[in-house]
Structure formats: structure tokens, C-alpha cells
Amino acid sequence: MKEKTVFFDLDDTLYDRSGPYLAAFRQFFGGRYEDKAAQAYQAVMHRGYEVFTAAHTGKISMDAMHIYRHQIGLLDVGIRITAAQALQLQAVYAAQQQRITLSAAVRAALDAGLAPVLVTVRPDASPELLEAVSGFDARVEIVPAPDAHLGQAESLKAGIRRLVSRFDCLPPGVVVLLGDQPLVGAELVRELTAFYLQKPECAAAPACDGVRGNPVILPAGAFGETLLLSGDKGARGILAAFGLRLMPTNDTAAITDVDTWEAYESLSRAKPL
């Protein structure tokens, strides 16, 4: 049986929306309205937030959401476009979007053969982030984490709770990947999975240069205790309680994370993703 995968810590600071939007705006309008570009971005994002819940709960279509946010958002700054033009602008914007950290993390899990992939997101996650997740692969499922603002434990619990409710027979473990570690690849995930399955009653994690890294694998026996965590309290105590085994690796991806867009760009220049 395959391990299931939970992602959390999908931080919008790693998902640049203004750059792709402004590029799409300039491409679509051919240099017109340059003085309104920044305002247009803010207005379109604001209008998107107004209807993204309705779109993602099926109350309105995704096309309706795109038309509303582009058409009404641009009207807010004095630019008139038709519904058809709004969809054309969305297509240009979609082509400009950079699904960087998110797609790298999801791709690593899928390429490693893990399924399903559960992606926990904050309730205020941007429409672009949600679209990037839901449109990536049919094996990927979005899991809302309504209390994510209280700390990382809440995101982890949301993923575990969904996993427990989804399967009558629990998987042997759950692989927990972080959205802010874009260098983690399928090979590291596969190696860690194989290492874990040698002794699946114990938790497992990679260690590079003597430093414990990520991802981690929690055994099924730890799910109950994980659901008792609160706030920003991580799973360190649970890892220790379930005999954490460290897999030595030379892959520095296990201990490399990025917390800002600038840090990501610097990292990608040094080691293309």
C-alpha cells in the first residue's frame, strides 16, 4: 500500500501574483493604460476574493469568476472590457502565472508514486494558488485548513483528519512535505519511503550534515496523537515518541527552505528547478 501525502505551509509569499498579472496586463493591452496597471492588479485581486468561495464551492462557474474579477476589477479603475475579453485576459494571465514552489512540491510527490496528494490551504488562499493546485493533477485534492492562522499544527491536523475520514483502512504512514522546500525531489521522497518501510512503526526523516530535514513520514499509529496537537506546536514530540529514524543523505534539499520570493529567485539561479 502506498503512503499518502499531505502538504502544508503553502505560503503566498512564495507565489508571486503581481508579476504574472502585470505581464499579462501589458501584453493584453499592448502598452495602453500603463499608468493604471498597479491599480488594476489590486482591484482585480480584490474582486477575485469576493467570488472565489462561490466558484470553488460550485455556486458559480470558474468562467463566471474570471469574467467578474477582470471585468469589474478593471471597471473599478476606469477600463471597460467585454466578458469575452475578460476570458481572453484570463487566458493570457494563466500563461504568465508561475506555479513555482507549489508545482515543484506536488510534482515530487506524484513522481515518487504517492497518491492521493492532499494539499492543505488557508481559508484566505488566493484564487491563483487554488487553481494551480486543483488543475495540476486529478490525484491532487485541496483540503481547507480553517484554523491555519493558529499555527502549523492546524494545517497538519486538517490533512490527517481528511486522510482518516477518506479511508476505511488507514495507510501505513503519511509523507509530510513543506511547500517552502522547492528543491525536494522525487528521488529523495522515494529513498525516504523505502527507508521508512523497513520499519513502518517508526517515524522517519532525512538528515544532511547532521541536521534533521524534511520531508518526514509519520506512521499510522501517530495519527491520533497528531490530531491532539494545537497552535504552532509541531510534531517533534510525536516524532520522538515514535522512535524517529534518520536516513543519512547528501541531498541538501532536505534542509533548504525559502521564505520570500527574493530568496526563491536567488536559489533558482544557483540551482535551476
Taking the CA atoms of residue 23, residue 141, residue 156 and residue 192 in that order, the dihedral angle to the nearest 10 degrees is -90
What distances in angstroms separate CA 97 from CA 2, 17, 42, 165, one per listed residue?
32, 7, 16, 34
Local confidence band at 124 (pLDDT 50, 70, 90 cut-offs):
low
Strand 173-178 versus strand 216-219 pairing type: antiparallel
Taking the CA atoms of residue 204, residue 137, residue 89 and residue 84 in that order, the dihedral angle to the nearest 10 degrees is -150
pLDDT tens digits, 170-190: 888 999 988 778 789 999 999
Amino acid of residue 260: T
Peptide bond between residue 116 and the one before it cis (omega within 30 degrees of 0): yes
- How far, in Å, CA of 119 to CA of 6, rounded? 6
Residue 207, helix vs strand vs coil: strand
Alpha-carbon radius of gyration of the chain: 20
Instruction: Report the range out of 11-15, 71-75, 94-98, 225-229 with the highest average pLDDT.
Output: 71-75
pLDDT tens digits, 188-231: 999 999 999 999 999 999 999 999 999 999 999 999 999 998 87
